[in-house]
Structure 1
Amino acid sequence: MITIFSRTFKSILPGKLFKKFIADILTSVVAYWLALKAGKLRVLATVITCLMVSYALSPIDLIPDVIPILGYIDELLIIPILIIMIRTVTPHRITKKYQKLAKDYLQTKTKPKFKLGMIAVFVTWVLLASIAISTLR
């Protein structure tokens, strides 16, 4: 089991491969979060990064982690897909620079805080819940 950002993952891949995959995801999330804070991303990359970081740091998941295997699909599929999208619109030099900074950050600090993102995720869930409730009436 691996714990990242207060989430515990059971290994569905061979041990070292799974740990490297999760570490790469974590490094990329932090790298793009740092690039976002520095204002080094293009508009599309900024929007996708806000979504990704908000979702990665949010305690609320699309698929609850208590559902076996399916609960981890969002962390193992959605976030990597968003990372790939960001990489395609971000210059390689920026990605490389912030990957290095992210590795240094993760060695010295704990979980990043993205308050605006947490607010956005909360508002999104409230809106979705209100839409669902209004359609059920």
Structure 2
Amino acid sequence: MRVREFWTIWKEQARKLKGEIYALYLAYRDPRVPWYAKLFTACLVGYAFSPLDLIPDFIPVLGHLDDLIIIPLGVALALRMIPQLVMLECREKARLALQDKPVNWIAAGIIVVFWLLLAAIVIAFCS
């Protein structure tokens, strides 16, 4: 396999994963989804969209494991918890919405504030 084909496949898989995560974001807000699936999915989506990682990316190899392993495994688990009919509807909504490239600055701000508060708490307890 050529390097160019390899990267094309990886880019396509990353695009599909992004679409699945956005569909999960839509699904966790659906009233037909059980509470435990909503809780898990909200945490997964927040982590996936967060600019900060559990393992920082500058750490060789380990830094990208969360992006390559944790998020896809979390998506697979969330998909098992959410009813298929809900996911079909949310995938279609996500596909249509991603055509317009939405940006939710409020959600991004909440995620950044959450991580900053978490960092402040850790610094306060470690000092």
Select 2:9's aligned residue among 17, 40, 45.
Answer: 17
> Given the superposition, is the C-alpha separation of residues 86 and 121 from structure 1 closer, same or farther in structure 2, using an over 3 Å criterion?
farther
The answer as to whether partners of 2:29 and 2:38 remain within 8 angstroms in 1 is no
Matched residue, 2:24: 32
**Structure 1 or 2: more helix by fraction:** 2
Instruction: Quote how far apart the aligned CAs of 1:84 are.
Output: 1.1
| Paired position in structure 1 for 2:39 | 47
Which is further off, 39-48 or 75-84?
39-48
Q: Give the whole-Å Cα distance in 2 for the aligned partners of 1:93 and 1:32.
A: 13
Question: Once superposed, what is the RMSD of the aligned Cα atoms?
Answer: 2.6
- Structure 1 residue identity aligned to 2:56: P
**Identity of paired residues, percent?**
25
The answer to whether structure 1 residue 65 and structure 2 residue 43 are counterparts is no
Q: Give the CA deviation at 1:85.
A: 1.2
Q: TM-score, normalised by structure 2?
A: 0.77
| TM-score after normalising by structure 1 | 0.73
**Among 91, 100, 103, which residue is 2:92 paired with?**
100
Structure 2's unaligned 5+ residue stretches are none
- Per-residue CA distance 1:69-96 (angstroms, 9 max, x = gap): 3322111111111111111111111111
Show structure 1 runs of 5+ residues with no match: 1-10
Cα distance between partner residues in 2 of 1:121 and 1:19: 28
Q: Distance in 2 between matches of 1:112 and 1:39?
A: 21
SS at match of 2:71: helix
